[in-house]
Amino acid sequence: MWLYLVALLALYFLRRWYRERQTVGNLPDKHVFITGCDSGFGYLLAKQLDGRGLRVLAACLTEQGGAERLREATSGRLQTAILDVTRSDNIAAATAWVKGQVGDRGLWGLVNNAGIGVPTAPNEWLSKADFVKVLDVNLIGLIEVTLSLLPLVRRARGRVVNVASVMGRLTVFGGGYCPTKYGVEAFSDSLRRELRDFGVKVSIIEPGGFRTQILDLQLVRKSLEQVWSCASANVKEAYGQQYFESYFEKFKELLSTISPNLHLVTDAMEHALTAQHPRTRYSCGWDAKLLYLPVSYLPTSWADYLLTRSMPKPAQGI
């Protein structure tokens, strides 16, 4: 009996390995639009796909620090545009530009990578504006970009690749980041089912912790200090200054363990765009595979204990 089960598992993984090695053809004729190419995953993916011969349309937030630097590091095939995903007029202009670039062929790939991580802090320290700032970039901007470009993706029977996070499965800290990633997961799931009959495939990238600009330690510290300074007297009294310092130290400890190997994520993105049979979800990093995702399946009380047992205690806590 066990032998049959082992044989079935071996056949399953062998078939999966074979299917995932099959790639689509005519890559030099395919256009891919990527948001958030100033740094991190977007910057590296743009270079990576350009090296594979695809026609990369890279959207950056800035010209000098983003688009110009990327053009210097890539071939003449790569084209850049300036895009703030929180501005509808920017998105409309980028959509018209992409349409002019791809013509009747349509857009093979859309990679929604643009995102921010701060402000992040215990929820009670934050204001509605703090949440909206992150929501506008990570979720609302992603949705508007997708809806604007979907007709071009449908024409090419192409791919949509949305960058979520393991924090879209398991909330580890407060603020708008985790809710936006839960939202990306939900939006991507509905989109995948709706577009199946059009031949469009939707993949979700779920990275663990990686050393990108949105997790810069100085940026996190500055954001926390700003949020704490704006917190009410009642909140400061309830949590205490020691909690603030300990909370930052825990964040610092977490950031010290994250991976510098961004290729684990960009390789997954590349596979989602170039494989004949892309995965629905790509979990990237050992922390995602061995810690966050397994904990997300535990009973809630167990997960709560594991995630809070080493956290600092507020001044007026029980």
**83-129 confidence digits (pLDDT tens):** 999 999 999 999 999 999 999 999 999 999 999 999 989 999 999 99
Domain architecture of the chain: domains with CATH: 27-211+260-299 (3.40.50.720)
Question: Which position has the higher pLDDT, 307 or 11?
Answer: 307
Is residue 168 very low, low, confident or very high in pLDDT (cuts 50, 70, 90)? very high
Q: What is the pLDDT of residue 226?
A: 92
pLDDT at 317 over 80: no
Q: How confident is the model at residue 21 (pLDDT cuts 50, 70, 90)?
A: confident
Per mean pLDDT, which range of 34-38, 282-286, 310-314 is the poorest? 310-314
Q: Which residues neighbour 127 within 8 Å (Cβ) at sequence distance 6 or greater?
A: 230
Share the mean pLDDT of the chain.
92
Distance CA 314, CA 243 (A): 6
What pLDDT is stored for residue 288 in this prediction?
94
Q: With bands split at pLDDT 50, 70 and 90, how would you rate the model's confidence at 202?
A: very high
CB 195 within 8 A of CB 164: no
Statement: residue 155 has pLDDT above 80: yes
Residue 297 known to be catalytic: no
pLDDT at 271 (0 to 100): 97
Percent with pLDDT over 90 in the chain: 73
User: What pLDDT is attached to residue 11?
Assistant: 78
Lowest mean pLDDT segment, chosen from 165-169, 255-259, 261-265: 255-259
CA 205 to chain centroid: 6
pTM exceeds 0.75: yes
5 has pLDDT over 90 = no
**How high is the pLDDT of residue 221?**
86
Taking the mean position of all CA atoms in its chain, how far away is CA 25?
27
The CA radius of gyration of the chain, in Å to the nearest whole number, is 21
| Per-residue model confidence (pLDDT) at position 211 | 85
Adjacency order of strands within the sheet including 109-112: 79-82, 55-60, 31-34, 109-112, 159-163, 201-207, 281-284
* Alpha-helix residue ranges (DSSP H) falling in 160-256: 177-195, 217-230, 233-239, 241-255
Please report which confidence band the pLDDT of residue 255 belongs to, taking 50, 70 and 90 as the band edges.
confident
Q: Pick the catalytic residue from 43, 177, 282, 292.
A: 177
pLDDT, position 3: 73
Residue 6 CB neighbours (<10 A): 10
